[in-house]
Amino acid sequence: MVRFQRPQPVWEHLKKPQTLNRVRRCIMKKCSRCKEVKEFTAFCKQSRSKDGYQPACKVCMNISWNASRNKKKEHYSLVQQKRQQKVVEQYKIWKKQQKCVVCHESDESCLDLHHVVSHTKEVDVSDAVYKWSWKRVLTEIEKCVIVCSNCHRKIHKYGNEWYYKHSKNAQVAERPNALACKAKTP
């Protein structure tokens, strides 16, 4: 009579040393710099390598990137200044083409950007020009209405009603949530 054998657990074959080493190789990797064996999550991805990960771990790569960046501080600061100058120039050109939606004032020194819905405001556009890319600045500008300094002050003093009465820009007046700033009462 054949005796019934109990099936082995699924992971029983992993107790053999050869198989265990193969599995370790699949989920672990040795860093080329610190020589420590770490999980693949400790490595950045790199599509051109055989295993799809960089040879050095994230910690070692951060150390080397920071060392490289510190050696070339002047270069990186010049690159950043040039990029910021480009964004500022683009902003100046863009602003020269704009005019107030209420009174049609076109002098760029008088124009302000008023955020239509105040809770969507991330930062003042004048600050963003010096910190962000032009694409990101434009996304912040899209949340705004262009008004001259006088009309901007009146919007904040009298609220939305004043803006709707005096606005000659139909596109902005059609928006239901246009100008969510509340009138300030003394």
Q: Where are the domains of the chain?
A: 15-66, 85-174
Binned at pLDDT 50, 70 and 90, residue 174 comes out as: very low
Q: Which residue has the tokens 């060392």?
A: 67
Query: Which 3 state secondary structure label does DSSP give 33?
Result: coil
Distance CA 111, CA 8 (A): 78
Binned at pLDDT 50, 70 and 90, residue 124 comes out as: confident
Cα dihedral: 18, 20, 25, 28 (round 10): -160
Asked whether the beta carbons of 40 and 23 are under 8 A apart, the reply is no
The pLDDT value recorded for residue 34 is: 93
CATH code of 15-66, in short, is: 3.30.60.130
131: left (phi over 0), alpha (psi -120 to 50) or beta: alpha
The pLDDT value recorded for residue 3 is: 60
Better-scored residue on pLDDT, 26 or 100:
100
Q: Is the pLDDT of residue 180 over 50?
A: no
Average pLDDT value for the chain: 78
The pLDDT value recorded for residue 108 is: 86
Better-scored residue on pLDDT, 149 or 163:
149
pLDDT, tens digit (0-9, with 9 covering 90-100), for 30-89: 999 999 999 888 998 888 888 888 999 999 999 988 888 888 888 888 988 999 999 999
pLDDT, tens digit (0-9, with 9 covering 90-100), for 137-161: 999 898 888 889 988 888 888 876 6
Better-scored residue on pLDDT, 181 or 169:
169
The pLDDT value recorded for residue 145 is: 86
